Amino acid sequence: MSTRRLRVILEGGCTYDIRIGHGLLANLALQVREVSQATRAVVITDSEVGPLYLNDVKAGLQLAGFEVFDLSLPAGEESKSVVVAAELWDALALLGIGRDGVIIALGGGVVGDIAGFVAATYMRGIDFIQVPTTLLAMVDSSIGGKNGINLAGGKNLVGTFRQPSYVAADLVTLATLPDSEWDNGFAEIAKSAIIEGKDFTQWLLDNTDSLLAHSEDTVQQAIVRSLSFKAYVVAHDEQEKGLRECLNYGHTFAHALEAVAGYGKVSHGRAVAEGMRFAARLAVEAIGVSEQFVKLQDDLLDGLGLMPIREAYSADKLFEKMFSDKKVRDSKLRFVLATKPGEWQAVVVDPDLIKIYLILWEQARI
């Protein structure tokens, strides 16, 4: 399998490479040398990923002449917090890390989000490398520069835009993923396909069996297609002032569900898939989307093993959490709604209609 390379080119002039393939961890230090003038490297990882890959990454960096440190977090969404961010800032300061430092995020989306946030805010910004080790992080959070931490009021309510200098997606790391993490990635790939267009959607429908079998060639193609689409979106709207809103498809419901269930109780991918189902049904009433599209999307999600969630959660609590969403403007909740593959709208939806559909969703699970 050959390594695939994509380049993100932002309107402001910032550019960086993404590589997807095998052996990228072994060559990571050389790539870091190419994109950063740093002499000191801090690898931020978690308690699950660290034991698998940290020693090899550190050894490679040391051979390349970096002074290397590592900081490990408890695995899980709870690490995306103000408390953990402050601990990391303090740790960097105690290590004497200055602008001669580079932070390397080795892990999934949580590690990438908190490490990116810390890199963006420590000393007003130091270099940052993404090394995603989950399918979800590879196809979504590792590129685009959005990072953040959670508050009691909602997910990702504090954050910045800070683009990485380089992204290395080594497919070897996928071999250790549990099924639940594959589901997370499949959900974001499905979201990307629906928003990108009919060709990607049809390709995904045609290749669900191969993806479920974890065929390396098919998985690499899915990652490349998802990242190519996201790179195009980010290049034209880095700070989510218009086009980039499309990437939030399924996320308004998903973020509310994650918060109400308790972070970590419902995985992000499962929540996004449920959010896509909810948005499609809401769109039938809100903007006249066809039932045919609802069925097509259901078939896609079902085919990927992303079946509807059966647990019931309070419609009132979900409604309340939705109004903490970043897409609320002037106390009006805007939903990203797909009309068919490749077409979408960001629309203000009548709160009473949202509440009706949330009640229907809850009642169907009681």
Tell me which of 191, 230, 277, 321 is the catalytic residue: 230
In the residue annotation, 146 being an active-site residue is answered as yes
- How many degrees, rounded to 5, is the angle at CA 198 between CA 341 and CA 336? 20
In the residue annotation, 124 being an active-site residue is answered as yes
Task: Identify whether the C-beta of residue 253 lies closer than 8 Å to the C-beta of residue 337.
Answer: no
Tell me which of 146, 191, 225, 326 is the catalytic residue: 146
- Residue 199 contacts by C-beta under 8 Å, 6 or more apart in sequence? none
Task: Identify whether the C-beta of residue 165 lies closer than 8 Å to the C-beta of residue 128.
Answer: yes
- Residue 282 contacts by C-beta under 8 Å, 6 or more apart in sequence? 335, 337, 349, 353, 354, 357
Task: Identify whether the C-beta of residue 146 lies closer than 8 Å to the C-beta of residue 230.
Answer: no
In the residue annotation, 214 being an active-site residue is answered as no
In the residue annotation, 244 being an active-site residue is answered as yes
Tell me which of 77, 240, 258, 274 is the catalytic residue: 240
Tell me which of 19, 58, 80, 244 is the catalytic residue: 244
Measured CA to CA, the distance from residue 315 to residue 355 in angstroms comes to 7
Torsion of CA 62, 111, 209, 341, to 10 degrees: -120
Q: Which two tokens stand for residue 149?
A: 């931490």
Helix and strand numbers, DSSP H then E, in the chain: 14, 12
Tell me which of 147, 150, 156, 248 is the catalytic residue: 248
Tell me which of 124, 241, 310, 311 is the catalytic residue: 124
Q: Which two tokens stand for residue 215?
A: 């065929």
What pairing do the DSSP bridges indicate for beta strands 67-73 and 101-107?
unpaired
Tell me which of 77, 181, 188, 274 is the catalytic residue: 188
Tell me which of 58, 155, 268, 334 is the catalytic residue: 268
Count CB-CB contacts under 10 A for residue 67: 15
Q: Which two tokens stand for residue 132?
A: 């995603």
Tell me which of 19, 251, 277, 326 is the catalytic residue: 251
Count CB-CB contacts under 10 A for residue 10: 17
Measured CA to CA, the distance from residue 289 to residue 336 in angstroms comes to 13
Cα 32 from chain centroid? 22
In the residue annotation, 310 being an active-site residue is answered as no
Task: Identify whether the C-beta of residue 340 lies closer than 8 Å to the C-beta of residue 293.
Answer: yes
List active site positions: 124, 146, 188, 230, 240, 244, 248, 251, 255, 268
